[in-house]
Structure 1
Amino acid sequence: MRPAAPPFAASFPVRSLADVRRLEQVPLAEAVTVRSTYELMRNAAAAFGPKPALTFLRDANPDTPPIRWSYAELLAGIHQTANLLHTLGVGPTDAVAVLLPGCLDYHLALWGGEAAGIVQPLNPLLTDEKLVALMRAAGAKVLIAYGSDDESGMWSKALRLRTQVPGLATLLRVAPHDEAPDAAGELPAGVGDFGALRAAQPDDRLVSGRDIAPEDIAAYFHTGGTTGAPKLARHSHRAQVFTAWACVQLQGQGPQDVTINGYPLFHVAGVLPASLAALSAGVETVIPTTALLRNREVIANYWRLVEKYRPTSLSAVPTVLAALANVPLDGADISSIRYCRTGAAVLAPELAARFERLFGLHVHESLGMTEMAGISTITPPGVHGPAGCVGLPLPYSQMRIVALDAQGGASEQDLPPGEHGMVLFKSPNVFSGFLDPADTAKAFTGDGWLATGDLGWIDGEGRLNLTGRSKDLIIRSGHNIDPKVIEDALGAHPAVQLCAAVGAPDAYAGELPVVFATLRPGAQASEAELLAFAAGNVDEAPSRPKSVTVITQMPMTNVGKIYKPELRALAAGQVAQALVDKAVGDLTLAPGHAPRVHSDEQQGVTVYMMPGAQAAQPPDLQQRLEAALAPLPVKTRVVLQTPA
């Protein structure tokens, strides 16, 4: 076993591309010598032993005492977990599936799982069928699951899964925090008590004596969203370690910092840029209850929790930032926050401006993806870019913008700074490919560049700016929803001729799935009937459409493809009309003088107040309408003239 080395620490503040290039003056092999996530944890425990590593909030009340684990306690638990898995027959190429909410034990499953074999975090919102397919593809030998149905019915789901996955030898039950002793009763054969079995293992070493190589696979993360056919992306220890190192360098993290990690730990963002980077540098990470930022009480008390735990950074997806923007400070002291960042979806300029105005926090954007171990570009503290600017490339990485080919894919034509195209990367943290070689081939260009599917451009300071997505994914609260799954579900209805699913703007979720359909000649079907039919044929609740609208003609491009930008504009107009109607309420307006909503793909949503009707309207109607539309993540305006 190699002796402990220093933890990760920022070399100097990074504020420009020149600073990134300065980091590259040291050869990569000398800059990052850690070989595995296990070695990273050993280094952190040696440096920060008694310092708090993880702080779990039992509930959202700032006065409730939390549960804290030190860096030394975390490493001891990782050793015990890895040793338990080893005794259960888990080797370096075996998968350990994890079905847990936000909790301390998740970190034992993650890092102990990677020390023993390959960890496979699972999204509990997936159906049994998809979870079984993922576990079968990975060859999972052990499933570590939460012993309660309070969170997404996890325990019942785990008990069902164990009978459907060949080769799954053991189910380990994680007791909910503060559960009374023996409350679970006698467990079925093949089911073990994770805490009790772990406690019987040595906590000071890996009994396997495993020497983890940098290229060994550490994890399988499923990608492809909450619908469709998820794919298993393979992460090497080298890739995950590099992500942690790069985040520390560009964000300047250190033992003086505290962060609240509300990202789910089945998602790469919560595991790597949020957790592993923090743990590599001595940061204290706060876990805000098992439900994390889905807990409405956590959102409601967020600023009080900031005052209590004094985090130095705030990190959340734009939809959570939008929810927080509706929570007043009420005198809470949030001066500890020095860095605010977001990712998962492009930040709306209106939301960025509102957050800065309300809280004095500039929101720094980053780009991350499963195929790059969670992080691709970062906007460091002190670097202020416009909304859509996702920052600087990582050290030792390469970034290109290429023109799109006729099929909307990546061509070989490089574009100069300022021109828009598809974003490509080569980097030390690029993943090791999918389990299915066919999926891997589609992820890379012929000359080995990762084709992200993101559209963007590079500005004069070398920063990446995103403008959209080459695919028409619907992004709901950071989750990717494949519209084809919805379209396939509704398209099976005998009355439907054509249908297309798009994202409708939503103040909380960012986008919600809606569908537009045309009917076959002579066919009849109500929108309510079609909605029920579609919802009944979509597995995952977050992906079920919120509405179906029947239209007479589907918009098409010149080459015969459905033109979705027009449908998105139509969906935005419908959402805005509902908000306008609610704002007007039971006001008495002159006949024909109700506000009119117009929406298009260039101008966004415009509400026209009829001229000459001011006497019939309350004096604050325009302010009411503007306030009603402000939370929407699209461009909106209220004007006093009719459309041309």
Structure 2
Amino acid sequence: MTAPPKVPASGEGAPFSAPFPVRSIADVRKLEAAPLEATLRARSTYDIFVNAARAFGDKTALTFLRTGDPADTPIRWSYAQLLEGIHQTANLLHALGVGADDAVAVLLPGCLEYHLALWGGEAAGIVQPLNPLLADAKLVSMMNASRAKVLIAYGSDDESGIWSQALRLRPLVPTLTAILRVAPHDEAPDVTAGLVAGDGIESFNLLRARQPAGHLVSGRRIAPTDIAAYFHTGGTTGAPKLAMHSHRNQLFTAWASVVMQGTAASDVTINGFPLFHVAGVLPGSLTALSAGAEIVIPTTALMRNRDVLRNYWRLVEKYRATTLAAVPTMLAALANVPVGDADISSVKYCRTGAAPLTAELAERFERLFGLHVHESFGMTEMAGISSITPCGVLAPVGCVGFPLPYAQVRIVALNEQGGASDQDMPAGEPGMVLFKSPNVFPGFVEPQDTANAFTADGWLATGDLGWMDAQGRLHLTGRSKDLIIRSGHNIDPKLIEDALGAHPAVQMCAAVGAPDAYAGELPVVFATLVPGASATEQELLDFMSARVADAAARPKRVTIIPSMPVTNVGKLYKPELRAMATVAVVAALLDEVLTGMGSAHAPRPHVYIANDGVVTVVPEMTGDDAANDRLHEALRAALARLPVKTRV
């Protein structure tokens, strides 16, 4: 019997590296041959940058594109320069009183300084990346929850009005002692100095330059269990939750991603993910930097820059990108960009995650560009990554690959509330996916949120539905909260989406439940069309209905919309589609009421969903009080039958 290859220890001066290509679950088991403590010896994310600078020195770590024009000259930082900047940033924060338990909030677009804020922030205290597209009230809530001591903010309103936003936030966060202004890359130094107003507002770059670049002045010995970051999650609606990451969580994500993907120092990746999101920070950045790879930052606007999108394949050619990582909505956008005569042969690995991939999009991407799309699964509560389909493993759509080394997975039945039960499902049968893993987070800042995230016996309840195949790979089928429940019958929206997504005119589609007075929910579908293609809603409905075998799952309506609602990181946002479906149902019901009252030609009531989530109906009033009362009574009676909260 051949002995398994020895897995070298990571840390103690060594960058992360893959000892062998992972192609099977047996290879994952080989990685687990030694105890994790013997394999992963680095103690903190700071160790990653010390090791990388020692190993790679003058090699390029970060390349910042000033514009989306491939002919422009970028700004490049080496691994040695990056470590110097991290030292200076950590030392500056230390001088401002930031300790191991203090939060450093960050409001920046795509830029080189973001990496100083991230990794210098973690070396000094706890970094808190914030989404500048969130409302001020949510940002204030999160900064007060973390008791943020310093805010590092972009000194311009050109990107999402960040500087004005930072100034608005300052008086609303009592714990803030300083705002560090990051100057745009093209701002002259004399202009930077003139813009600093004092009174706790300082120039990040000017103060940083005065700090030692060769060591941490604090002398801090970072423990693996120390909290490294607060990432917000669930913040598109409702109150955002702050997920805590330990240094060990983030180290493990970087190491596991390197060994599963085979990331090497020769790799180049264009990271278009925003760095307030865990996908951009950990799988997208720390993984590459821990192995000595090069990261290209495609302008401050990242993939929102139309020039970057239009010239994407030319940028791949110029920088010889080897890895392409993007959410499915971005892959759909890239599928509309002709490759032309650009040489993209350098790309060896294409990976997606964060949202379901349709079979049609995967097939189109492979047909157009010769790139097989490998799916992965990640979540904020697992420091960004849970399972990976490695390079060279050709899996069907919906397969998100092998769970990480040292991770444990369970598939359990749903309970009556749609949560995780303690009943394990047989192999191949779907249920909720549960995890225990070294990168499972210690919890949220709010204890009650933590309690809700775990089962009674300590498993992380992902809320995702899936099953394991005979090869040890995880397949996802959807989210438990996305199930459409029609008269007690659970309908997987993916079955509907796969059927409609096969239509050649459909670019993206999403099925959601619309409220129904009798069935509780009925499936409806929203679709966008491929640019230049045409199809009617009835044509799409007929096409899909012929391919959905379950009669209860056949939608009654297809609605063609110009674009899909997405979150700030490009993930499909189904709550907005459910809201649209609800408004359409209510409007149709109101038409029936008016027709029944002989008022078919009367002005239609205005229907919208208020900030509290209640469907609100505002009818047109007349001078006849009795008629108004009858109308109100009829509307209330009709709406009372729907399984949604309403008000007239």
Normalised by the shorter chain, which TM-score bucket?
A: 0.7 to 0.9
* Cα distance in structure 2, aligned partners of 1:372 and 1:602: 38
Aligned position for 2:488 = none
- Residues 579 and 83 from structure 1, CA distance in 2 versus in 1: closer, same or farther, beyond 3 angstroms? closer
Per-residue deviation, 1:471 = 1.8
Counterpart residue number, 2:516: 555
Q: Percent identity?
A: 67
Alpha-carbon offset, residue 444 of structure 1? 0.4
Letter in 2 for 1:598: L
Structure 1: distance between partners of 2:540 and 2:284: 41
Closer, same or farther: CA 141–604 of 1 in aligned 2, 3 Å: farther
Aligned to 2:609: none
Q: 2:443 aligns to what SS in structure 1?
A: coil
Return closer, same or farther for 1:631/1:337 CA change in 2, 3 Å cut-off: farther
AA at the equivalent of 1:404: L
CA deviations 1:438-475 (Å, max 9, x no partner) are 0000000011000000001111101000101012399x
The 8 Å contact of residues 597 and 605 in structure 1, kept in 2 or not, is answered as no
For the residue of structure 1 that corresponds to 2:21, the secondary structure is coil
Aligned to 1:500: none
Shift of 1:181: 2.2
Q: Distance in 2 between matches of 1:98 and 1:604?
A: 48
- Indicate whether 1:451 and 2:451 are aligned: no
Which range is displaced more, 464-473 or 338-347?
464-473
**Which of 352, 360, 365 matches 1:355?**
365
Q: Secondary structure at the match of 2:287?
A: helix
Q: What letter is aligned with 1:274? A: G
Q: CA deviation at 1:583?
A: 3.2
In structure 2, what is the Cα distance between the partners aligned to 1:630 and 1:97?
Answer: 33
Please list the CA deviations of residues 91-140 of structure 1 after superposition, one character each: whole Å capped at 9, or x if unmatched.
00000000000000000000000000000000011000000000000000
Query: How big is the shift at 1:600?
Result: 9.6
Letter in 1 for 2:465: L
Question: Structure 2: which amino acid aligns with 1:331?
Answer: D
Match in the other structure for 2:153: 145
Deviation at 1:294, TM superposition (A): 1.1
Q: Which position in structure 2 is the counterpart of 1:125? A: 133
The whole-number CA distance in structure 1 between the counterparts of 2:170 and 2:506 is: 36
- Paired position in structure 1 for 2:171: 163
CA-CA distance at 1:62 after TM superposition: 0.6
Q: Are the structure 2 counterparts of residues 27 and 180 from structure 1 closer, same or farther at C-alpha, using a change threshold of 3 Å?
A: same
- Which SS does the other structure have where 2:117 is aligned? helix
Residue 187 in 1 paired to residue 201 in 2? no
Normalised by the length of structure 1, the TM-score is 0.78
What's 2:241 paired with?
A: 231
Equivalence for 1:406: 416
| Displacement after TM superposition at 1:163 (Å) | 1.1
Q: Aligned residue for 1:17?
A: 25
CA distance in 1, matches of 2:11, 2:336: 50
What letter corresponds to residue 568 of structure 1 in structure 2? Answer: V
Q: After superposition, where does 1:57-136 map in structure 2 within 5 Å?
A: 57-136=65-144
Which of 263, 269, 278 in structure 2 is aligned with 1:268?
A: 278
Tell me how far apart the structure 2 counterparts of residues 513 and 3 of structure 1 sit (CA, whole Å).
Answer: 46
- The alpha carbon displacement at 1:605 in A equals 9.4
| Distance change in 2, residues 1:234/1:513 (3 Å) | farther
1:545 counterpart residue number? none
Residues 473 and 314 (structure 1), Cα distance of their counterparts in 2 relative to 1, 3 Å cut: farther
State the SS of the aligned residue for 2:541.
strand
Q: CA RMSD in A?
A: 3.0
> Cα deviations across residues 211-261 of structure 1 (Å, max 9, x unaligned)?
000000000000004222110000000000000000000000111111111
Counterpart among 23, 27, 40 of residue 32 in structure 1: 40
Say if 1:254 and 1:282, in contact at 8 Å, map to a contact too.
yes
Measured after TM superposition, the shift of residue 513 of structure 1 is 11
Inter-partner Cα distance in structure 1 for 2:418 and 2:62: 44
**Contact 2:13/2:51, CA 8 A, preserved across alignment:** yes
- Paired with 2:481 and 2:508, the residues of 1 have a C-alpha distance of 17
2:267 to 228, 244, 257: 257
The aligned counterpart of 2:575 is: none
Asked if the contact 1:293–1:299 (Cα under 8 Å) also holds between the matched residues in 2, the reply is: yes
**Aligned AA for 2:225?**
E
8 Å CA contact retained: 1:125, 1:226: no
Structure 1 residue identity aligned to 2:524: R
Match 2:389 to one of 360, 379, 389: 379
CA deviations on 1:271-297 (whole Å, 9 max, x unpaired) are 001100100000000000111111111
Query: In the alignment, what sits opposite 1:247?
Result: 257
Give the Å deviation of 1:12.
Answer: 0.8
Alignment pair present for 1:345 and 2:306: no
CA contact (8 A) 1:4 1:42 kept: no
Any idea what the Cα deviations from partners look like across 1:7-39, whole Å, max 9, x if unmatched? 101011111100000110011001100000001
Q: 1:390 to 1:128 in 2, by over 3 A?
A: same
How far off its partner does 1:346 sit?
1.2
**Would you say how many aligned residue pairs link Structure 1 and Structure 2?**
528
C-alpha change, 1:353 and 1:453, in structure 2 (3 Å) is: same
Distance 2:393 2:207 in 1: 48
Alpha-carbon distance between aligned partners in 2 of 1:214 and 1:199, rounded to the nearest angstrom: 29
> Any idea what SS the aligned residue of 2:482 has?
coil
- 2:445 match: secondary structure: coil
Give the letter for the 2:541 counterpart. H
Aligned to 1:549: none
Structure 1: which 4+ aligned runs deviate by more than 6 Å?
504-509, 511-516, 599-602, 628-633
Corresponding residue number in structure 1 for 2:534? 583
Shift of 1:411: 0.6
1:56 aligns with 2:7: no
Query: CA separation in 2, counterparts of 1:370 and 1:508?
Result: 31
Find the aligned partners of 1:416 and 1:29 in 2 and give their Cα distance: 32
CA contact (8 A) 2:235 2:241 kept: no
Aligned to 1:568: 524
Amino acid of the residue matched to residue 249 of structure 1? V
With over 3 angstroms needed to count, the CA separation of the structure-2 counterparts of 1:404 and 1:63, relative to structure 1, is same
- Cα deviation for residue 597 of structure 1 reads 4.6
One-letter code of the match for 1:301? N
After superposition, what is the alpha-carbon deviation per residue over 1:24-70, rounded to whole angstroms, capped at 9, x for unaligned?
00110011000000011101111001000000000011110000000
2:436 is matched with which residue? 426
User: Aligned residue for 1:465?
Assistant: 475
CA shift for structure 1 position 510: 5.5
Letter in 1 for 2:452: K
> What one-letter code is carried by the residue in structure 1 that aligns with 2:516?
P
Give matches, 1:322-333, under 5 Å: 322-333=332-343
Separation (CA, whole Å) in 2 of partners of 1:464 and 1:165: 43
| Deviation sequence 1:175-216 (CA, Å, 0-9, x none) | 011212222424222100000000000000000000000000
The Cα of 1:412 is off from its aligned counterpart by 0.5
Aligned counterparts of 2:544 and 2:389: Cα–Cα separation in 1: 29
The answer to whether the 8 A contact 2:513-2:524 is kept is no
Cα distance change on mapping 1:338 and 1:183 into 2, 3 Å: same
